[in-house]
C-alpha cells in the first residue's frame, strides 16, 4: 500500500472525530462513576472509535459525488483512495466495533446494534430527508454518553440529561452545516431541511432546539446531582452555544464549528460536576 493511499484511508476515518467520540463514551462512563470497570470502559470507548471511523468512511463512500463539489480535497475525489477500498475499509472497521461490543452488557449491545444500523443506513436512507438525517446524527452523537454509561451498567438521570443536551445541540449543528453545504446538496438533488423550508427558517429551528437544550442544562444542579462547579461550567457552555447560534446567521461555517466547541464544553461541565462530587 502506497503512503498516499494509507494516508487517504486514515483521513476517511476523521481520526480526530472518532477519538473524540471515544472520549465522550469514556465521559459517559465517568459521569456515572463507572471507572471501577476499566475493561468495560476500554471496550466501549474502542468500539465507539471504530464505529465512528467506519461510519465516516462509509459516508465518504456514498457522498463521493457530492464531495466532488463540496469537498474536492477529500481522499476519494482527489483519487488517493478508490471507492471500493473505502467500502472494504469501512466494513473491516465495523467488524472491529461489533467484536468489541460483544463483551459489553445487553443494554450496551442493544445501543451498539441500533447505532451501527443507523450509521450504515444514514447516507442512503436518512441524509436526504428534511430533518430526519439531522435527528439521526443528533441521536448518534448523544448516544455515545449513554453507551458509556450502559457499558458499566449504570444509566443515571445525569447521563440522560447529558444525552439530551448533546443530541439537541448536535441536531442544531447539523442543520447549520446543511446551510453551509447548500450548494452541493442542491446539485445532488438532496432535500435537506434548508432546501425544504429555506435557510433562515432552518436556522431558527436550530435556535429553537438549542433553547430546549439550554433549558435542560441546569437540571443536574436542580436535582442535586451536581453542585455549583457544574453550574458555572455549563453556563459558560450555554453562552458559547448562544453566541454560535447568533453567528450562524451570518457565517454558518464558523457557527457550526463553534457549536462543536460549545458541545465539548458542556460535556466538560459534567466531568467537573462528577469530580467535584468525588472530592
Decide if 193 is inside a domain. yes
Cell triple for residue 95?
467488524
Q: Is residue 41 part of a domain?
A: no
pLDDT for 46: 96
Residue 191 lies in a domain: yes
User: In which domain, by residue range, is 227 found?
Assistant: 156-278
Q: In the chain, how many domains are there? A: 1
Residue 147 and residue 110 in contact, taking contact as beta carbons nearer than 8 Å: no
- Structural domain includes residue 110: no
- Is pLDDT above 80 for 188? no
CATH number at 183 reads: 1.20.120
Within-domain flag for 232: yes
Termini Cα distance of the chain: 51
Q: Is the pLDDT of residue 61 over 70?
A: yes
Q: Which of 132, 128, 156 has the alpha carbon at shortest distance from 29?
A: 156
Mean pLDDT over residues 142-160, rounded? Answer: 93
Report yes or no on 241 lying in a domain: yes
What is d(CA 265, CA 92) in angstroms, rounded to the nearest whole number? 33
Flag whether 238 is in a domain: yes
Rounded to 10°, the helix 252-278/15-31 angle is: 30
pLDDT, tens digit, 9 for 90 and up, residues 105-128 = 999 999 999 988 887 787 677 776
How many of the other CB atoms lie within 10 Å of CB of 239? 13
Q: What is the pLDDT of residues 225-273, one digit of tens each?
A: 899 999 999 999 999 999 999 999 999 989 999 998 998 899 899 999 9
Contact 171, 138 (CB under 8 A): yes
- pLDDT tens digits, residue range 28-37? 999 999 999 9
88-99 pLDDT per residue, tens = 999 999 999 999
pTM for the model stands at 0.85
- pLDDT at 218 > cutoff 80: yes
Q: Is 279 exposed, middle or buried (0-12, 13-18, 19+ CB in 10 A)?
A: exposed
CA torsion 211-215-220-223 (nearest 10°) is -160
Q: Which of 12, 260, 3 is nearest to 141 (CA)?
A: 260
CA distance linking residue 27 with residue 38, whole number of Å: 13
CB atoms under 10 Å from CB of 180, counted, come to 19
The x, y and z cell numbers of residue 111, run together, are 445501543
Cβ-in-10-Å burial (0-12, 13-18, 19+) of 96 comes to: middle
Q: Would the pLDDT of 2 be above 80?
A: no
The answer to whether position 77 is within a domain reads no
Amino acid at each position: 500500500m502506497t503512503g498516499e493511499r494509507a494516508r487517504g484511508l486514515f483521513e476517511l476515518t476523521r481520526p480526530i472525530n472518532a477519538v473524540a467520540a471515544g472520549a465522550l463514551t469514556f465521559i459517559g462512563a465517568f459521569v456515572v462513576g463507572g471507572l471501577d470497570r476499566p475493561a468495560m470502559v476500554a471496550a466501549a470507548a474502542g468500539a465507539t472509535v471504530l464505529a465512528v471511523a467506519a461510519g465516516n468512511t462509509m459516508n465518504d463512500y456514498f457522498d463521493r459525488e457530492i464531495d466532488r463539489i463540496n469537498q474536492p480535497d477529500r481522499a476519494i475525489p482527489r483519487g488517493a483512495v478508490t471507492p471500493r477500498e473505502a467500502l472494504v475499509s469501512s466494513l473491516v472497521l465495523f467488524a472491529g466495533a461489533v467484536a468489541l461490543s460483544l463483551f459489553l452488557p445487553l443494554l450496551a449491545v442493544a445501543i451498539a446494534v441500533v447505532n451501527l444500523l443507523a450509521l450504515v443506513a444514514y447516507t442512503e436512507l436518512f441524509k436526504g430527508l428534511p430533518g430526519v438525517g439531522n435527528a439521526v446524527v443528533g441521536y448518534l452523537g448523544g448516544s455515545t454518553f449513554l453507551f458509556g454509561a450502559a457499558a458499566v451498567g449504570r444509566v443515571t438521570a445525569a447521563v440522560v440529561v447529558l444525552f439530551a443536551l448533546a443530541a439537541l445541540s448536535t441536531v442544531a449543528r447539523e442543520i447549520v452545516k446543511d446551510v453551509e453545504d447548500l450548494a452541493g446538496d442542491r446539485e445532488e438533488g438532496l432535500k435537506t431541511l434548508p432546501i425544504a423550508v429555506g435557510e433562515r427558517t432552518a436556522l431558527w429551528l436550530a435556535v429553537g432546539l438549542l433553547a430546549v437544550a439550554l433549558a435542560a442544562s441546569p437540571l443536574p444542579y436542580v436535582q442535586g446531582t451536581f453542585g455549583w462547579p457544574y453550574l458555572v461550567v455549563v453556563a459558560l457552555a450555554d453562552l458559547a452555544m448562544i453566541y454560535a447560534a447568533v453567528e450562524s446567521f451570518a457565517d454558518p461555517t464558523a457557527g457550526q464549528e463553534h457549536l462543536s466547541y460549545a458541545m465539548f464544553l458542556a460535556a466538560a461541565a459534567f466531568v467537573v460536576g462528577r469530580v467535584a462530587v468525588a472530592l
